[in-house]
Amino acid sequence: MEQSNIATHAVATGPAGRAMAQPMDASLLEGLQQHLTMERQASATYWAMAIWFGERELRGFCEYLKGEAGNEQQHAAQLADYLLARGQTVSLEALAAPRQQWRNAEEIFAAIFQLEADVTSSLQQLYVMAERASDVRSTVFLDPMVQGQIASEHEAAHLLGRIRFAQANPAAMLVIDGELSEGKHAPASLA
């Protein structure tokens, strides 16, 4: 009895009071928290863009971007789950008001492509930090996230290309809008 008590107390706990297998490198932890905020900010940005298209009767675009806002929230949730699994707490920082004024759809999708590229860069930095700290749990956690970003960049490039192809022609924009309403947003695949 005495022995098992000692064993129980020997388990390290993190700031959340939960059992913690490996302490986290301070800069990696800070980076993961910042990345969580970045995903929440991306969600707010997508939602603002969905509103922009909703105001212009392009319901397929609105639906697609609403879904993307949900995906970004889900990415933030995955980070929160990971921090909890590592015995850490999740700090929710203030978000900036998302941009709502845009000239046209092309400008929005160029911004989306850049946003996704920035998220990938942030993940790359986290990956380097995790490797430097010999934190294999974190590199394994980040692997599918980086993979997801490659797909997101690919999709954003595809939709930006299609919008450029349409050259703001209303009939062509309605064709893309109809496709998005049907959930067709994947780039061509040769596999």
Binding interface with Fe ion (CB under 5 A): 39, 72, 75
CB of 150 to Fe ion, least distance (A): 12
- Closer residue to Fe ion in complex, CB, 55/143: 143
CB of 1 to Fe ion, least distance (A): 49
CB of 40 to Fe ion, least distance (A): 10
CA distances (Å), 176 to each of 5, 60, 105, 157, 187, in order?
64, 8, 11, 14, 13
- Closer residue to Fe ion in complex, CB, 42/173: 42
Minimal CA–CA distance to 57: which of 178, 183, 184? 178
Q: In the complex, which residue's CB is closest to Fe ion?
A: 75
Q: Alpha helices, DSSP H only, in the chain?
A: 2-9, 26-54, 59-85, 105-132, 136-166, 170-181
- Closer residue to Fe ion in complex, CB, 65/166: 65
Residue 135 has φ and ψ, to the nearest 5°, of -100, 85
* b (16+ CB within 10 A) / e for 9-18: eeeeebeeee
CB of 145 to Fe ion, least distance (A): 8
- Closer residue to Fe ion in complex, CB, 84/117: 117
Q: Which two tokens stand for residue 124?
A: 């790359």
CB of 42 to Fe ion, least distance (A): 6
- Closer residue to Fe ion in complex, CB, 35/162: 35
- Closer residue to Fe ion in complex, CB, 72/153: 72
Measured in Å, how far apart are the chain's first and last C-alpha atoms? 60
The answer to whether the beta carbons of residues 160 and 106 sit under 8 Å apart is yes
Q: How many Cβ atoms are within 10 Å of 72's Cβ, its own excluded?
A: 23
CB of 23 to Fe ion, least distance (A): 27
